[in-house]
Amino acid sequence: MDPATLDQRLAALERRLAHLETLLTNLRQLVERSQVNDDSVKEGIKSWVTEYVSLRLQQLVPETCEHAPAPEAGGGVSARVSAAEFRAATEQRLRALEREVAEVKGRVNGLIFVVAGAVITQVVLRLVG
């Protein structure tokens, strides 16, 4: 590779790195300006989780929510279930809830890795620059 081509490629790479550094600096400034209150964030997350779990429980276990009374035994379906049926239904619902919790956990882990990657990139750029 001739030196002129190498110099051009190096200059292009330096321009790209400078642009990336500018973007990261702007991002850092944006994060610094947005002063987040940890307690309010925690309370917001707790509130969201509580509402979400309540909604999901209402969807998964509707018989515990307010509903119209079951028809009388004179011709309607009995609202009573055996202990084995209840146990099986509960285990099924718990497995579904475990799958959903695992999905949320995976998403949170993904977000953590994105943030960690951005921080590592910024540290590397500061060390190089």
**In this structure, are residues 96 and 60 in contact, taking their beta carbons and an 8 Å threshold?**
yes
Specify the amino acid at residue 93: R
Cα-based torsion angle of the residue sequence 118, 124, 127, 129 in order, rounded to the nearest 10 degrees:
-80
Span 85-92, average pLDDT: 86
Span 41-50, average pLDDT: 82
| pLDDT value at residue 62 | 63
> 76 pLDDT exceeds 80?
no
Phi/psi of residue 110, each to 5°? -60, -45
The percent of residues in the chain predicted with pLDDT above 90, rounded, is 4
The mean pLDDT value of the chain amounts to 80
Span 10-25, average pLDDT: 89
For 77, left (φ over 0), alpha (ψ -120 to 50), or beta? beta
Domain ranges of the chain: 43-63+84-129
Task: Read off the pTM.
Answer: 0.34
